[in-house]
Structure 1
Amino acid sequence: MSMILEKIAHDYKLNDNDLYLAQYIIDHSEEVIHLSTHQLAKNTYTSATAVVRFVKKLGFINYNDFKINIHSFLSQYYLKDMEILSHESLFSIRNKLSEIEVGIINQTKNMISIDTLKKVMDYISKNKYIDIIANDTNACIGEYASHLLLSTGKITTVYQNRDKQLWLSLNVDHYHTVIMISKNGKDEHLLNVTDILIKRKIPFIIITSHKKNLLAKKQAVLLYGVIHDEFESLKDMVFYISLKYIFDLMYSVLISENLQQAKEVDQLYGALFDKKT
């Protein structure tokens, strides 16, 4: 029995039939998302009823919920073995870190539905001005996003000062797209700013962790970043890798929508930079 299967079996008290289904899903996760309950049952010598019962045992609402979220579910188990150990070799850390980052990015990707991504990009594409509300390291990633988005013609400003965050929420209009970032989603000030935006009927985007929190319950388009509490020494890094992927995704979609314009702006910037130096 694989280590991942052992952990899933322990967490969900799987019986022998469940174990066979779980191992098949682990070995064929890319294929399974395209199978119906009857097809998966046929491949595992079980029944459609047994398949539905199994996915509900794992905590999924139904089979469709299982297919949408299975990669994210499995990634949690892949990553649990990836903690950096005391005095670990450079070779091991180099290889392990790349696996951690790939795993986090895959989890983040699987938590973003195409419908949600479309809403996010509609908000960003329609307005020239992007306002990012964030604190501390989140604001640093926001500055990175600002650099990317500015290169696509989006006037992007990061609001880290609490007073300015409040004034922004009171004055921003529908010609701006607001993005709020909060890993834990429980900062009272940010929750207050959020309530003001909602009361003023300003549509906005929230990026927070995939764990349940107060901010995630607000009326906004939600994007989720990954956190892993078991990564004690790396838990901040995990969320920021996830957050960077989200902004890289926004940037890539904008570039794809206006590829020729992006090339022209990049050439102009390069010419000005060369002239300056």
Structure 2
Amino acid sequence: MKLNANEERIMIYISEHLEEIPYLSSRELAKRVYSNPTSIMRLVKKLGFVSYNDFKVNIVSTLKDHPAITKEIQSNEDVLSLVSKVAKIQTQALQQTKETLNTMILQQVLTCLKKAGSIDLYANDTNASLAQYAKHLFFLAGKLSHVYDQDDLQLQASLLSTPDQAAIFISKYAKNSHLLTAARQLRQAGVPTIALTSSADNPLAKACQFHLVVPFAFTHQKISELDFYIGAQYYLHLCYVYLYSQSYEQALQLEKDFDLLFWK
């Protein structure tokens, strides 16, 4: 069964609002997903349901009970399976991160970030995208940030940083030797260092002053790395909303000033 882009978008909405679907008419569902009743009925038939009422009665149990026991992606999996599986991966990753979260360490990290004049982010490869995203968020909270995603720049920055800054290191495996060297150099210089990594026992966690652990189980499939990115993003969101709330009025004014400049 192959769904087109519009049908896939509708399925995503359905999977995220399962408890509401039994109470929606085809017209109301179409309105919510910016589609039309004809497209809804076409999707219902394609999914194998006899009628829209049949769909409403059975779609919740179908998606909830659809095989998604493991995070392994199979060859030619159908859309219903993937919708259910990806939703479970995200939900489980967030729940596992929340359950392993050490609130005492988190509060210490947040206090350091609040006091810091600027926040530097050290990351390589895909993790650098997370760092760039965090840089954007921290700006919205009134914190100047820099991203160092190259070995030489990471080492140079570690030599020039001062204790009034803070540094966040993002790494799943903590195997990059230059990243570890930069973390040790910064800590020796009195700069608060925070490791966002997969284990409290890996070299990066031990090299930094604080560590925030993101549960991550390595498998042969790259899909398993979703756990780390989802959990790491959760921590970065926590840092952002805390900083935003602590400088609420200034953050609001900063947004207004930025919009005036951007749209000038």
**Deviation readout 1:167-188 (Å, 9 max, x if unpaired):** 1111100111111111101211
Matched, 1:235 2:195: no
Provide the residue aligned with 1:74 in structure 2. none
Name the residue aligned to 1:8: none
- Tell me how far 1:265 sits from its aligned partner: 2.5
Pick from 93, 100, 117 the counterpart of residue 89 of structure 2: 100
Give the drift of 1:80: 6.3
Report the TM-score, using the length of structure 1 for normalisation: 0.66
Q: Are the aligned partners of 2:71 and 2:224 in contact in 1 as well (CA < 8 Å)?
A: no
SS at match of 2:145: strand
SS state of the match for residue 126, structure 2? helix
Equivalence for 2:179: 190
Could you say which residue in structure 1 is the equivalent of 2:107? 118
CA distances 1:167-219 after superposition (whole Å, capped 9, x unpaired): 11111001111111111012111122222223323221111112742222224
CA distance in 1 between counterparts of 2:200 and 2:115 reads: 30
Quick one: distance in 1 between partners of 2:113 and 2:200? Answer: 25
* Partner residue, 2:29: none
The answer for the alignment partner of 1:12 in structure 2 is none
Identity of aligned residues (%): 33
Task: Let me know the Cα RMSD of the aligned residues.
Answer: 2.0
Does the C-alpha gap of structure 1 residues 211 and 222 become closer, same or farther in structure 2, counting only changes over 3 Å? closer
Residue 205 of structure 1 corresponds to: 194
Q: Which residue does the alignment assign to 2:233?
A: 244
**1:130 to partner: Cα distance:** 0.6
Query: Does the CA contact (< 8 Å) of 1:128 and 1:153 recur in 2?
Result: no
Q: Give, in whole Å, the separation in 2 of the partners of 1:239 and 1:191.
A: 19
Work out the CA distance in 1 between the residues paired with 2:95 and 2:199. 14
Contact 1:83 1:231 in 2 (8 A): no
| Partner Cα distance (1:124, 1:217) in 2 | 19
Compared CA separation, residues 271 and 139, structure 1 to 2 (3 A): same
In 1, the alpha carbon distance for the partners of 2:256 and 2:183 equals 39
1:263 to 249, 252, 261: 252
**Structure 1: stretches of 5+ with no match in the other structure:** 1-78
Larger deviation, residues 84-93 vs 123-132: 84-93
Q: List runs of 5+ in structure 2 lacking aligned partners.
A: 1-67
Shift of 1:231: 6.6
The answer (yes or no) to whether the contact 1:174–1:202 under 8 Å persists in 2 is yes
The answer on whether the counterparts of 1:82 and 1:96 sit within 8 Å (CA) in structure 2 is yes
- d(CA) in 2 for partners of 1:199, 1:128: 19
User: Take 1:188 and 1:208, find their aligned partners in 2: how far apart are those partners?
Assistant: 15
- Give 1:135 shift: 0.6
Q: After superposition, where does 1:48-59 map in structure 2 within 5 Å?
A: none
SS of equivalent to 1:136? coil
Q: Distance in 1 between matches of 2:248 and 2:208?
A: 33
The answer to whether residue 116 in structure 2 is matched with residue 127 in structure 1 is: yes
Count of aligned positions: 197
> Per-residue deviation at 1:109?
1.7
The one-letter amino acid of 1:105's match is L
Distance 1:269 1:95 in 2: 40
- Tell me the residue number matched to 2:142: 153
Name which of 205, 213, 219 aligns with 1:224: 213
Match of 2:25 in 1: none
Deviations 1:147-172 (A, max 9, x none): 01011110110001211111111110
After superposing on structure 2, the runs of 4+ consecutive aligned residues of structure 1 that deviate more than 4 Å are: none
Is 1:107–1:226's contact at 8 Å kept on the other side of the alignment? yes
TM-score (norm. length: structure 2): 0.69
> Residue 44 of structure 1 aligns with which residue?
none
Counterpart mapping for 1:37-48 below 5 A: none
Judge conservation of contact 1:80–1:230 (CA < 8 Å) in 2.
Answer: no
Amino acid at match of 1:243: A
